[in-house]
Structure 1
Amino acid sequence: MDEVSRQAAAADLRNVLRASGTALPDEAMLTTLLEIEGWDVQRAARAIQDDSAAERRRSGADDEEIARSFAARPPVSAFEVDDGLAARRATRPYPGGVGLSSGRGPLGDRPGGMSISSIVWSAITFPLSLAQSILLLIARIFRLRSLFPGLFGGAPGSDGWSRMPKVDPRICAERFVRELEEETGATSGPRSALPAAASEASSTSRSRDGTGPPPAPRIPPFHIGGYSDALKLAKEQIKILMVVLTSREHGDAEHFRRKVLVDEELVELVSRPDFVVWGGDVREREAYQVATQLEATTYPFVAFIALQPARAARRAASSQSGASSSSPRPAVLSRLEGSPMTATSAQSISSHIADVLLPRTRTYLDRLRSEKRRREIERELKAEQDRAYEEASRRDAERVARKREEERQRALEAERQRRAQAELEAQQQKRRAWLGWAKRHLVPEEPSAGQPAIRLAFRLPDGKNLSRSFQPSDRLESVFAYVETHAAGVDEQDSAALSVPPSEYEHRYDFTLVLGYPRKQIGPELLAVGADGSGKTLGDIDGLAPSANLIVEGKVGRASLSAQDDDDDDSSDSDNDD
C-alpha cells in the first residue's frame, strides 16, 4: 500500500472514531493498529472501541475480579490487558516520597540510585508504599486516571510526548542497546560469539585455580527496530514479544539495567527462539507512546504480548464483517512493573516466564506453529505440484512440437520426392524425345555405291555388334548418335515424333569409342572440336579410314538412360542435403 492510501485509511479511521464518540489515539498508534489489522479501517475501529469498552469494564470491576488467577482467565483480544494479572503486579517502595504523581506516568521523576540508605529508607516507607498501591487500585477502579491524566503521567495526545522530537525508531533502538552495553559492559550477542582464544584462556585460568574473571555478561537480544516492527515480527513468526521500558529519571533504572538485564538465567530464557525482545527508554518518543498504550504506571516496566484467540464478542463482530472468526490476535498477556528488588527482579521475571507465561502460551502457540508449518508444507507441496505440472506441460508441448516438426519434415520429404520423380520422368521423356530426334536428324543415310565411305564395326558393352558405313565428311557426332540410338532401340516411329530437339535438354554421351590397335580413345569431348566449331569429321580422325573396328566402352543406350537417371537422383539428394 502506498503512502497516499495509508494516509487516507488513517483519515477514515479518525472519522469513524469521531462519529462513535471514541477518544482518538495518536497518529503512531493509529498507524500501528492499521498495520496490525491489515489496513482494514472497520476492524481497526472495532479494536479501538473494544479497548475503550474493556477499559470501562475494568474500571468498574470489583476487587474479586481484579484478583482473579492468571491461569483461570481466558485469552484476551488484541491490545487488551489481562486484568487477571493485576494481583501479580507487585507494588514498589518509593524511596523519595509518597505523592501519587511521583514516579507515575511514562516519564516518572525518581532521582537517586538504590544505595544502602535507599534500601533502609524503602523499608521505613513500606507502609506508605502499600497505601500508595491501594490508592492506585482505587484510581483504576473509579477511573481517576482518565479524569486526572496529568496526575498519572498524561494521556495519549498530551503535550508530554507531542513535544518530543521524532527520531527513527531503529536509531532509538540502537542507542538504547549501545547505552546498555556501555553501562553494563555486556554484549548483546551469544556467548559463543566471543573469540575462541579468549574463551579457552578464560576456561584454562579457571581450571587452574578455580577462580578467574567471570564470563562476559550478556543482555537480552533486543530487536533493532521500531515497536511495530517487533510486534509484526512476533506475530508473523508466532513468538512472544517481551517489552522492556525504563526511565533514566527513575531511581530504580540503574539497578534494573545493571543487575536485572544482565542476569544469566533471565538472558538465557529470553534468548530462546520463542521470544522477541524490544526495549526503550521513555525519554524517547516511541517508547513513551508504547508506555501509554500498555498503561505503564511505574518503571521499570515489562510486558509480554503474544497471539491469542479472539474473544467471543470479537469473533461475532468479525463474522458479521466477513473476517475470519478464528484468526488469533496480539494480546497483552501480563505486565510486571515496580521495584527491581521485588516485582521486576530477575528472579521474579524468570519465574513468571518459566512458571506462568510459557505454560499458558506453549500449547496454543505450538498449535499455531504447527498450523503455520502445515500451511507452509501445503504451499510447498502445491508449489512442487505446480512445478511438476508445468514441467509435464512443457514436455508435452515439446513432444507435440517435435511431432509436428517430424510430420512437417516428412511432408517436405514426400514433396521433394514427388518433385524429383516428376523431374525424372520429365527428363526421361525428353531423353527419349531427343533420341528419336537424333536418329532422324543426326544419323545420316549410308553412302551409296561409288561414294567415298568409311566402314565402321562396333562392339557394344553387352556383346552385340553393329556395323555401318559413313562418309568421311560426316561429323563424329553422327557416329555417337548412331551407336546411342541403336543401343537404345529407337525405332522409326520415335524418330518421326519431333522435328526439333526438345527444349531445356542437353544430351550427354556416357561412352567412349576405342580403336583396337594401336589403342586409341575417341571420346565425346572431340564432338565440339573442329575448324568451323561444329565438331570433327570422320576424315579428321586418323585410324578410321577406310575401315575400323571400335569397342564401345561405358554406358550406352538403355544403360546410359538408367545411369543418367541415377545421377539425377544423386544430384537431387545432394541438393536436398545442402
Structure 2
Amino acid sequence: MDGLQGPQIEALERLQSILGPHDTEFVVSVLESVAWDVQKATDLLFDNEVPKVLAPTQTASTPMAQLELDDTEDSSESSPTIRHSHRGQGNPRSNWSFLWSLLAVPLHLVSGVLRFVFSVLRIPIPSLPFMTTNSYHSHRPTSPDSRSITQRWVQELEEETGACSSKRSMPNAVTTGFEAGPSTARRHTYPPAASDDNQKILPDFYDGSYEEVLDICQREGRIACVVLVSAEHDDDADFKRSALTDTTFVKILLDNDFIVWGGDIRDKAAWDASQKLQATTYPFVAFLALQPRRHGAPSSAAPVVTILSRHQGRAAATAPVLIDHLNTQLLPRITPFLARFKTVLQDRDRDRRIREEQDRAFKETARRDRDAIEARLRQEKEEEERARKHAEDVKRKQEDLAKQKHQAGIRMEWRKFMRNRLLLPEARGLRLAVKLPGNGRVVRSFPPSATLTALYAFADSQLIPSTSRPEADPSQAPEGVVDNIPQLDSYIQSKTAGHAWWGFTLASAYPRREFRWKANASLTETGLRDGEQIVMELSSGRGSTNEASDDDYESESD
C-alpha cells in the first residue's frame, strides 16, 4: 500500500468494493497483471482465469533474473482442452458472492471442528469448499511471513491427506523397507517407521521462501521441485493424496536430495512463484537446477538456475508421469553436470579448508614467534631493570660508605680537637676507670666541678688511633666556634642527634646504670662516685676500625 499511487489506490478500492473481503496483496497482484484495469480484473476473478504473465521488471538483483527455460524436455500440458477444463470451474458469479460471504463465518466454524475430528481419527479431509481454511473470503494478515505461510500449508496438507512430513518422521527411521540412496547419511532411511503400516509420507517441504530455494540451487547444486496447487481446482485433492504421497516419488526426491517447495496460489508467495514460472494450469510441478548457459554464452560463464521441466494439469502431474520423467529423462540428463559441479564445490571447499588450516598454522606460528619475541624482550627488560637496580644499589652503598667515611673523618677530627683543646688536666676529685671496647681500660681523675661532657670527651679521645701523634691535633673545631666545654655543649645541643652525636654510651659495670649525656650536667649530679668502674658501650652499627687495643692505653695498677 505504501508504494501505490493515487489511481492505483482508487482501482484497488473499487475492486475491493465489488469483491468484498479479499486478501489485499492478492487483489493488488491481480490488478498488476491486468495493468490496473478494474473491469478486466473483475472478469478475470469471476471467470477464474489465470492472469497473463507480465515480464518481471525488478528481478535484476534476484536469482530469478538468471532463470532460463530449458525447453528441451518440457512436459507441460498446454493443450486447449486442459486450459478449457481449467476455465470451466470457477467461483459463482457476483450475485452468489455476497451470499457466500454471509455463510463463510459459520461454515468456517464447522470446518474447524471437522478438521480437528478428522485429524484425530487420521481420516483424510474431504475437499469441500467450506473445508478449506484458505478460501478467498477467509481473513488473513495482509503481509504474512513466507516461512509461516509455508509451514501452515504443509500442516494443512498433512491434515488433508492424512500423511506425515518425511522430516517429522526421521527420528523414528529404521533400516527396513527401501534401500537408502546417496543421501542415507543425512536422511537415514526411507520410509520412516510409523505405528501404522499404511502411513503415508509427504516430501520434505522447505519452509523458506522461493528465492531462498533458488539460492540453495545456485550454491549447493541441488535440484528443486516446486509444487503449486489451487484449492479451487477439482483435481486438487486427488493430486495431493496420490501424487504427493506416492512412495516411489517421495523416495526419488529424498534419495536424490531434492529441495522441495510448494504452496497454494491464494497465498502471495506461491502466487508470485507461479507468475515467475509462468504457470497457467494447476496442479503445477516444475523442476529447476543449475545448467550451463546457452545461446552462445562463453564456456567460462557461470551456470545459471534453469527451469528443466514444467508439468501442468492433473494429467501431466500424476505420480507415474513424474516418476518416469525423473528416471528416464531429467536425472540422467542433468546428474552428470551437477556431479561435476558438486565436485568443483567439494574441491573448492577442500582448498578453502586447506587455506584456512594454512592460515591458522601461519597465525599460530606468528603468534608463537610473537610470544617468543615478547618473552625475550620482557627478559631483556627485566635483566636491564635488575642491572639498573644493582647499579643504583652499588652507587647508593658507595655514597653511603663515602658519607660514613666523611662523617667518621669529621668525628676523628673532633676527637683530636677535643684531645688538644678540651681535655681537663687531672686533679684530685673523682677517680674513674673507663673500660674501652676491646677490653682496654684507662683511669682518669676529674675535679668535682667537671661535667659529664668532660668525661664523654675524655672517653671519645681514647678512640684515636695510637699512630696519630698529639702534635698533629687541630687547634680549631671542624665545625662552628668551640673553644671550651660550654661551647661544645651548645654545639651538640644544636644537632638533632643529641646524645647520638657521641656514638657511644657510658654505664656502670654492676649494677648497670646508664649515664646518658646531658648538657651542663656535673659528674656528682649524675651519681658517679669516686673509684667507679665505667663501661664504654658503642652504639649499634659502629665498627671496631677506630677502636683501640689494650696496648694503646694506660691501665690502672692493682
TM-score normalised to the size of structure 1?
A: 0.58
Q: Shift of the alpha carbon at 1:398? A: 5.2
Tell me the amino acid that sits aligned with residue 329 of structure 1: V
Q: Shift of the alpha carbon at 1:375? A: 1.6
Indicate how the Cα distance of structure 1 residues 511 and 405 shifts in structure 2: closer, same or farther if over 3 A, else same: same
User: Secondary structure of the residue that 1:521 maps to in structure 2?
Assistant: coil
Matched, 1:470 2:446: yes
Residue aligning to 1:146: none
Residue aligning to 1:361: 338
Tell me the amino acid that sits aligned with residue 520 of structure 1: P
Indicate how the Cα distance of structure 1 residues 509 and 243 shifts in structure 2: closer, same or farther if over 3 A, else same: farther
Distance 1:236 1:514 in 2: 104
**Is the contact made by 2:67 and 2:306 (CA closer than 8 Å) also made in structure 1?**
yes
Q: Deviations over 1:152-172 (max 9, x none)?
A: xxxxxxxxxxxx965432233
Q: Shift of the alpha carbon at 1:557? A: 11
Q: Shift of the alpha carbon at 1:173? A: 1.5
Distance 2:520 2:540 in 1: 21
Tell me the amino acid that sits aligned with residue 232 of structure 1: D
Distance 1:421 1:486 in 2: 28
Indicate how the Cα distance of structure 1 residues 413 and 284 shifts in structure 2: closer, same or farther if over 3 A, else same: same
Distance 2:225 2:546 in 1: 99
- Which of 306, 317, 322 is residue 331 of structure 1 equivalent to? 306
Tell me the amino acid that sits aligned with residue 257 of structure 2: D
Q: Shift of the alpha carbon at 1:193? A: 3.2
- Which of 282, 285, 289 is residue 306 of structure 1 equivalent to? 289
Distance 1:513 1:288 in 2: 118
Residue aligning to 1:379: 356
Residue aligning to 1:191: 169
- Which of 427, 431, 440 is residue 455 of structure 1 equivalent to? 431
**Is the contact made by 1:244 and 1:300 (CA closer than 8 Å) also made in structure 2?**
yes
**Is the contact made by 1:245 and 1:282 (CA closer than 8 Å) also made in structure 2?**
yes
Tell me the amino acid that sits aligned with residue 155 of structure 2: R
Distance 2:541 2:288 in 1: 107
Q: Shift of the alpha carbon at 1:226? A: 1.3
**Is the contact made by 2:225 and 2:258 (CA closer than 8 Å) also made in structure 1?**
yes
Residue aligning to 2:517: 527
Residue aligning to 1:52: none
Q: Shift of the alpha carbon at 1:428? A: 3.3
Indicate how the Cα distance of structure 1 residues 403 and 328 shifts in structure 2: closer, same or farther if over 3 A, else same: farther
User: Secondary structure of the residue that 1:362 maps to in structure 2?
Assistant: helix
Indicate how the Cα distance of structure 1 residues 455 and 342 shifts in structure 2: closer, same or farther if over 3 A, else same: closer
Residue aligning to 2:94: none
Distance 1:217 1:377 in 2: 45
Q: Deviations over 1:9-41 (max 9, x none)?
A: xxxxxxxxxxxxxx98335xx24x4044xxxxx
**Unaligned stretches of 5+ residues in structure 1:** 1-22, 37-46, 49-77, 113-163, 197-210, 317-324, 529-533, 564-578
Distance 1:372 1:361 in 2: 16
- Which of 259, 265, 270 is residue 287 of structure 1 equivalent to? 270
Indicate how the Cα distance of structure 1 residues 419 and 544 shifts in structure 2: closer, same or farther if over 3 A, else same: same
Distance 1:557 1:367 in 2: 88
Tell me the amino acid that sits aligned with residue 459 of structure 1: K
Seq. identity, %: 27
Matched, 1:98 2:81: yes
Q: Shift of the alpha carbon at 1:180? A: 0.9
Distance 1:426 1:560 in 2: 18
Residue aligning to 1:79: 67
Q: Shift of the alpha carbon at 1:402? A: 5.3
User: Secondary structure of the residue that 1:98 maps to in structure 2?
Assistant: helix
Tell me the amino acid that sits aligned with residue 538 of structure 1: L
Residue aligning to 1:552: 536
Indicate how the Cα distance of structure 1 residues 91 and 308 shifts in structure 2: closer, same or farther if over 3 A, else same: closer
User: Secondary structure of the residue that 2:402 maps to in structure 1?
Assistant: helix
Residue aligning to 2:50: none
Residue aligning to 1:264: 247
Distance 1:308 1:425 in 2: 96
Q: Deviations over 1:234-289 (max 9, x none)?
A: 33344332222223333432222112222334334434583322112223333233
Residue aligning to 2:405: 428
Q: Deviations over 1:21-71 (max 9, x none)?
A: xx98335xx24x4044xxxxxxxxxx96xxxxxxxxxxxxxxxxxxxxxxx
Residue aligning to 2:455: 479
Distance 2:82 2:303 in 1: 41
Residue aligning to 1:538: 523
Q: Shift of the alpha carbon at 1:439? A: 4.7
Q: Deviations over 1:461-493 (max 9, x none)?
A: 324333333333333344334334432537754
Q: Shift of the alpha carbon at 1:80? A: 1.5
Distance 1:416 1:557 in 2: 19
Q: Shift of the alpha carbon at 1:227? A: 0.7
Residue aligning to 2:417: 440
Q: Shift of the alpha carbon at 1:315? A: 4.0
Residue aligning to 1:178: 155
Indicate how the Cα distance of structure 1 residues 549 and 329 shifts in structure 2: closer, same or farther if over 3 A, else same: same
TM-score normalised to the size of structure 2?
A: 0.60
- Number of residues paired by the alignment? 408
Distance 1:393 1:418 in 2: 37
**Is the contact made by 1:444 and 1:478 (CA closer than 8 Å) also made in structure 2?**
no
Q: Shift of the alpha carbon at 1:183? A: 0.8
**Equivalences for 1:385-404 in 2 at 5 Å?**
385-386=362-363, 388-390=365-367, 392-394=369-371, 396-397=373-374, 399-401=376-378, 403-404=380-381
**Equivalences for 1:5-84 in 2 at 5 Å?**
25-26=55-56, 30-31=58-59, 33-36=60-63, 78-84=66-72
Distance 2:279 2:294 in 1: 24
Distance 2:319 2:541 in 1: 126
Tell me the amino acid that sits aligned with residue 304 of structure 1: F
Indicate how the Cα distance of structure 1 residues 263 and 82 shifts in structure 2: closer, same or farther if over 3 A, else same: same
